[in-house]
Chain A
Amino acid sequence: MKIVTGNDLKTGVVIWWAGDGWSIHVADAVDAGEHAEALAQTEQAALRVNGAYVVDAVATSTGPRPAHIKERIRAIGPTVRPDLNLKPADPAAGNWVI
């Protein structure tokens, strides 16, 4: 599947296209399919996201899992600071990344 990501313009935080807007949770990301590139450009032009681009992901029972480790680290946060990532109470978060 193709999902769209970028950074929030004001805060810089990682965001994912959720179909009707942007979410900080990759689990909310939707398959943008063949429209992914156009969607990224439209949203960037509308100043709703900074540096939008398309990444490959695999659909799982808990939502999309980006194919590349870099995007998985973006999705969760630095692996070396679990206290600062999006799932600080989830001991399995690191396994999801690696």
Chain B
Amino acid sequence: MWSRTIKNKSWLWLTVVLTAGPIVLGIGYAFAYSFGLTGLLNDGFTIEHWQKTITYTPFWKSLFFSFVIAILTVFIACSLALGIALRFRHIWKQHQALLYLPLTIPSIVMAFFVFQLLSKAGFLSRLLNRIGITSGIEGFPDLVNDNYGLGILFAHICMATPFFSILFLQVYQNERIQLFNQLSATLGASKMDRLRKVVLPIILQKSFPAIILYFIFSFGSYEIPLLLGSQSPQMISVFTIQKLQRYNLADIPIAYVSCIIYSIFIAAIVILSSRLLMYQQMKKG
């Protein structure tokens, strides 16, 4: 018991202030603004902003779109990463830098790069044009700033895949999965069996927190959809900031309602997944 040593709890309170403080203050202001208690064009408590936002289709489209992009990003990137991690397990020791290199590229640069790669006048278009598969600028499909978010998804996957590959490789090593692999083989399990019942479950279980975190980060992604997105649908961060900063002052409350709903959504995911984790721990005993 460290009652003797931790007499001075100042760092603890400092932490509370500096972490909870901004969130509480920020959400507090957002609530106030959204209920008309403060801010431009507001004069007193009203629920009309909430009504307006909840009935505003582009908002829900935006939420849904963000959700889908985040799910697809995580799903596709993890699948690719599993493939890379398992197939190239043995040679990665020497070539690790190759996987780490893409991690040096932040979202803004990745967005710019994907734009230069996949836009109608971009590198891929020119390549295909030269080979003769497409003809001219118009012959190349809309891959960026399109209504399906293909460019956004591609950029997200480019960033997520190396990250998960490294993560899975590390988990494989740390959890000594090779050991369990061999063990189950001696117990008579086939390659498919071992993959499905030993290797994948252990990797995914240990990576679960990272996967949830990445999902949350993808959901709230800003720079990539800012450059590669279109006016509709927008990812939730872009939607929110646009409502906040565009000329139409009457749109600002919508931005704050959006922030609150975003916060609730994020909080729900964090709480749910930690419950899930605790439940898993308890099951194991």
Q: Do A and B bind each other?
A: no
Binding site for A on B (CB under 8 A): none
